[in-house]
Amino acid sequence: MDGSLVTPHDLIRPWRRATLLASVVAALELVLLLGAGSLLLAKPVAHSLRHHAEAAAVAAPPKKLEKAIHRMNAPAGKARPRSHVKVMVFNGNGRSGAAASEAGTLHGLGYKVAGTANARHQNYATSVVMYKPGYRAEGLRLAHDLGVKVVGPLDGIHVKALQGGELAVIVGA
């Protein structure tokens, strides 16, 4: 018997390799199963999320929003006299003297001019009239006096920027 004997150390080594290989294969199968499971569940979950989002978007608006919309669409009411309304004029078209010229027009119509300044942006395509809360009727009348079609509540202008005025006119191109 000249053949070499297998030592216990040699018997352990193939088992170690086999165990390592089996673990790698099992981990790979687990990753593939998790990926397939997520692909199978992703479509129903996305559909459910879309359905809930659409239902929430179609749901009735909150009462506070409904009241605000009603106030915006309500008739203007009785406006204060022009001499009791202060208007801040902003130049939004970039032409030098546009705000001062509009302020002169307003003064001629009987409005008090709170001041003139440049608007934050100089690319307004059309003139805009904005009003503080409670001055909707005055804003609509001012827009009518100037022939301005865009009228709305203050948006993007802080009340402090009005320098005590109740209305704002942004002179556009």
CATH number at residue 89: 3.30.70
What is the total count of domains within the chain?
A: 2
- Residues 81, 55 within the same domain: no
- Residues 97, 43 within the same domain: no
Please indicate, yes or no, whether the overall pTM of this predicted structure exceeds 0.85: no
Three-state secondary structure call for residue 147: coil
- Residue 120: its pLDDT value, please? 87
- 32: confidence class by pLDDT, cuts 50, 70, 90: very high
Specify the DSSP class assigned to residue 96.
T
Per the model's pLDDT, the better-predicted residue between 37 and 29 turns out to be: 29
- Residues 49, 132 within the same domain: no
In a domain, 70, yes or no: no
Sheet containing 112-118: which strands, arranged edge to edge?
A: 112-118, 86-91, 167-171, 128-131, 150-153
Reported as a single tens digit per residue, the pLDDT across 131-161 is 988 888 899 999 999 999 989 888 878 788 8
- 169: confidence class by pLDDT, cuts 50, 70, 90: very high
- 28: confidence class by pLDDT, cuts 50, 70, 90: very high
Amino acid at 72: M
- Residues 152, 100 within the same domain: yes
- 1: confidence class by pLDDT, cuts 50, 70, 90: low
Mean pLDDT over the full length of the chain? 83
* Domain span holding position 25: 1-59
- Residues 160, 85 within the same domain: yes
CB 89 within 8 A of CB 163: no
CB 89 within 8 A of CB 113: yes
Phi, psi (rounded to 5 degrees) for 112:
-90, 135
- Residues 101, 19 within the same domain: no
Reported as a single tens digit per residue, the pLDDT across 62-104 is 777 777 666 665 556 688 888 888 999 999 888 999 999 999 9
